Amino acid sequence: MPGTQLNSVQTAALSAGIDLDALPTHVAIIMDGNGRWAKSRGLARLLGHREGYKTLRSVLLNASELGIKYLTVYAFSAENWRRPKDEVDGLMALIERAARDELRVMHRNNVKVRVAGRMDDVPTSLRNALEDGIQTTQHNTGIVFTLAVNYGGRAEIVDAIRDIVATGTEPEDVTEELVAAHLYNPDIPDPDLMIRTAGEMRWSNFLIWQAAYAELFVTDVSWPEFGLKQLLSGVAAFQHRTRKFGGLTE
């Protein structure tokens, strides 16, 4: 990026050997390990989630300054309802508070907020907070930040199929492109890089259609301890991969 004034995050990226002209366009993150991080310190699990949302603000702003255009994070899965009621209630309240408290920061930093998931099933107050964030930032032109809440990859595909069936589409007219057009955010490109924290080696039903060819980067670091160093490590790993999309390279 000759002749361009670099910020501190981009300078750190260059020092880490990252090519700023070959960044992943869309990064998705499975934010794992909050509860284990808290337990290892003798704290309640919810305090780990609270610390995780502090981390999220930092990672979002770092990704924006680095030049990543889309960031999607797994905040609450459709399966998380199976957790103890007090933890679920606490998570719902925490997501709502974070959505309200961080809106000013996101708007000031030109972040565009989106959501993914079955919003009809979340508490009304949380849904209102998320919708307020979407409306407030809808004209922003910076990084597109998608919060996946009450989200499941299989549920998303089911919802897309239901929409297609409702239009009366003939079976022979159903294509991959048509299904993709009926997903929650069809205008957002598929993720190039999927980051998972806390060492777990699975997709956990996250963006399973969109992430079919995403490069996976797993770090043993728990989400509350994830920082710029780990983000840059993920991007560096991405840039060392050869993406073939099922084909061959010379």
**pLDDT grade, residue 246 (50/70/90)?**
low
Q: How far apart are CA 193 and CA 234, in angstroms?
A: 8
- Among residues 7, 80, 109, 140, which one is catalytic? 80
How many Cα atoms sit within 13 Å of 44 on the Cβ side? 8
Give me the mean pLDDT over the 115-125 stretch. 96
- Among residues 32, 34, 62, 192, which one is catalytic? 32
The pTM score is 0.94
Q: Identify whether the C-beta of residue 215 lies closer than 8 Å to the C-beta of residue 243.
A: yes
Q: How far apart are CA 55 and CA 225, in angstroms?
A: 7
* Nearest by Cα to 163 from 180, 146, 187: 180
- The pLDDT of residue 136 is 97
Is 32 in the active site?
Answer: yes
The architecture (CATH level 2) of 8-152+191-239 comes to 3-Layer(aba) Sandwich (3.40)
CA dist list (Å): 234 to 94, 188, 193, 194, 238 = 27, 21, 8, 9, 6
DSSP state of 121: G
Find the angle CA(80)-CA(84)-CA(88) to the nearest 5 degrees: 55
Is 80 in the active site?
Answer: yes
